[in-house]
């Protein structure tokens, strides 16, 4: 499993992320080929060079652009075209980009569009991007998606984010830092943040969008294979850099959430029904643990492991289907082995079995319980004997 860890020492922006990925080994010629597949008349060239940020050497990416003759001057700021989310989606889906890069790019833009839609109270498709709709931001996001695709990144992790403080001038006027759309994205991804005395925007909407689309805030265990440093455009008393660490994990892991609540006033029948509904809703796992509550009441703790995307759905289900007044939510990460269903040819006929696999090695084989129970009922043999005979054929 390929992992990317972003050390957001001085925040994150789209160009810092792309520069760090280039510094880590993403070939510039590959990036040039990717950009040639997008219909952006104003784009001319991309360059990459090493610069010094205080005592640290870092990569910096630069785009050469010219004014798009198909746009009116009033629609251009510094030669950058303003586009709606619908325009950008059409631009990317209508390109010759590989499907994997298209999907990653749109996922980032969709996150930013949802943020802009919410904070400015307009429909998502009618969101009119300014800074993020500019050509250089489109190139940053598509380039980021292409770099993730090149390294085959399965999961992204991030350090806590320094927000900066003060104000930033945008097409919507002077706004507080972090900008409203950035703040919405930080909330959406349950970001870990830390204070910073820098009176500057350290986390841009583009940088936040990349993390909101893919990242979990944790420091992973991995074997390091690539390392890169991206430079921000501003100069601070500290090195204005973003570092990326790319490596391999021996076990597959995924970002999940754990939802839990304590229940002391529901019957076993009611609890069993709730558990069935939760599993039907797509929970990865759900279980009860006996606990002792106030006034010495025996009770149970309901625990649910679920994908982050299902948090709202399952939280609402628990609140509606149980007597609880609140649900606790924690971010968790689980490691898991690969699994595969195989068919074993046995004296009882074909029997389905589940295999556990790690690094290509089969560690165990377990015949499906329902099939073993069926054979036991048909033959009169004890269940343990049926399982023993089936495993002889492994």
- What domains, with CATH codes, occur in the chain? 2-248 (no CATH), 254-335 (3.30.70.1380), 338-391 (3.10.20.300)
Please state whether beta strands 215-216 and 223-231 pair in parallel, antiparallel, or not at all (unpaired): unpaired
Cβ neighbours around 3 below 10 Å, total = 22
Give the number of other Cβ atoms within 10 Å of residue 123's Cβ: 10
Torsion on CA atoms 149, 152, 155, 161, rounded to nearest 10: -60
| Secondary structure (DSSP) of 307-341 | EGGGHHHHHHHHHHHSS-S--EEEEEEEEE-EEEE
Indicate the average pLDDT of the chain: 89
pLDDT bracket for residue 79 (50, 70, 90)? very low
Spatial neighbors of 375 by CB under 8 A, at least 6 apart, are 348, 351, 381, 386
Give the pLDDT mean for 310-322. 93
pLDDT in tens, 333-380: 777 788 888 889 999 999 999 999 887 788 999 999 988 999 999 999
pLDDT digits (tens, 9 = 90+) for 131-160: 444 788 899 999 999 999 999 998 899 999
Residue burial 176-196, b: 16+ Cβ < 10 Å; e: rest: ebbbbbbbbbbeebebeeeeb
- The dihedral built from the CA positions of residue 170, 94, 86 and 185, taken in this order, carries a sign that is negative
Region at 135 (left for phi over 0; alpha for psi -120 to 50; beta for the rest): alpha
Local structure of residue 203 (DSSP, 8 states): B
The CA distance from 106 to 92, in Å, is 8
**Would you state the pLDDT for residue 76?**
38
Tens of pLDDT, residues 224-276: 999 999 999 999 999 999 999 999 986 666 678 899 999 999 999 999 999 99
Task: Indicate the DSSP class of residue 70.
Answer: T
Q: What is the pLDDT of residue 72?
A: 38
Check residue 190 and report its DSSP letter.
T
Tokens of 214: 């893919």
Q: Which of 111, 114, 171 is nearest to 141 (CA)?
A: 111
Could you read off the pLDDT of 175-221 as tens digits, one per residue? Answer: 889 989 999 999 989 899 998 989 999 999 999 999 999 998 988 88
List of E strands, the chain: 2-7, 43-53, 56-65, 76-77, 80-81, 155-158, 161-162, 167-170, 173-176, 193-194, 215-216, 223-231, 241-248, 252-263, 285-293, 297-307, 328-336, 338-346, 349-358, 361-367
Gyration radius from the chain CA atoms: 26
pLDDT surpasses 50 at 75: no
Main-chain phi, psi angles of 362, to 5 degrees: -80, 115
Query: If pLDDT is split at 50, 70 and 90, which confidence band does 171 have?
Result: low
CB 214 within 8 A of CB 17: no
pLDDT of 83 over the 90 cut: no
């Amino acid at each position: 499993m390929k992992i990317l860890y972003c050390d957001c020492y001085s925040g994150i922006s789209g160009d810092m992320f792309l520069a760090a990925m280039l510094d880590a080994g993403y070939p510039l010629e590959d990036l040039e080929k990717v950009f040639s597949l997008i219909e952006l008349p104003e784009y001319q060239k991309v360059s990459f060079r090493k610069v010094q940020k205080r005592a640290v050497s870092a990569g910096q990416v630069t785009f050469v652009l010219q004014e798009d003759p198909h746009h009116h001057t009033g629609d251009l700021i510094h030669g950058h075209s303003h586009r709606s989310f619908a325009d950008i989606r059409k631009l990317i889906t209508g390109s010759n980009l590989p499907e994997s890069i298209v999907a990653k790019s749109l996922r980032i833009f969709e996150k930013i569009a949802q943020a802009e839609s919410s904070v400015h109270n307009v429909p998502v498709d009618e969101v009119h991007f300014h800074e993020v709709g500019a050509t250089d931001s489109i190139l940053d996001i598509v380039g980021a998606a292409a770099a993730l695709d090149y390294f085959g990144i399965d999961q992204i992790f991030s350090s806590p984010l320094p927000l900066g403080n003060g104000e930033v001038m945008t097409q919507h006027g002077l706004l507080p830092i972090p900008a409203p759309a950035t703040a919405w994205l930080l909330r959406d991804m349950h970001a870990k943040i830390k204070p910073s005395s820098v009176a500057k925007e350290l986390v841009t909407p583009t940088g936040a969008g990349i993390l909101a689309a893919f990242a979990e805030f944790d420091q992973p265990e991995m074997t390091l294979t690539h390392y890169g440093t991206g430079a921000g455009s501003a100069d601070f008393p500290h090195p204005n850099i973003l570092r990326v660490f790319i490596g391999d994990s021996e076990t597959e892991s995924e970002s999940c959430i754990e939802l839990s609540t304590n229940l002391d006033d529901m019957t076993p029948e009611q609890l069993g029904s709730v558990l069935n509904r939760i599993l039907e809703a797509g929970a990865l796992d759900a279980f009860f643990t006996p606990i002792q509550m106030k006034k010495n009441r025996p009770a149970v703790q309901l625990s649910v492991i679920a994908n982050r995307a299902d948090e709202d759905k399952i939280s609402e289900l628990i609140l509606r289907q149980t007597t609880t007044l609140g649900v606790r939510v924690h971010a968790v990460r689980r490691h898991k082995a690969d699994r595969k269903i195989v068919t074993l040819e046995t004296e009882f006929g074909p029997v389905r079995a589940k295999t556990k696999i790690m690094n290509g090695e089969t560690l165990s084989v377990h015949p499906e319980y329902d099939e073993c129970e069926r054979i036991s009922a048909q033959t009169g043999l004890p269940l343990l004997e049926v399982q023993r005979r089936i495993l002889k054929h492994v």
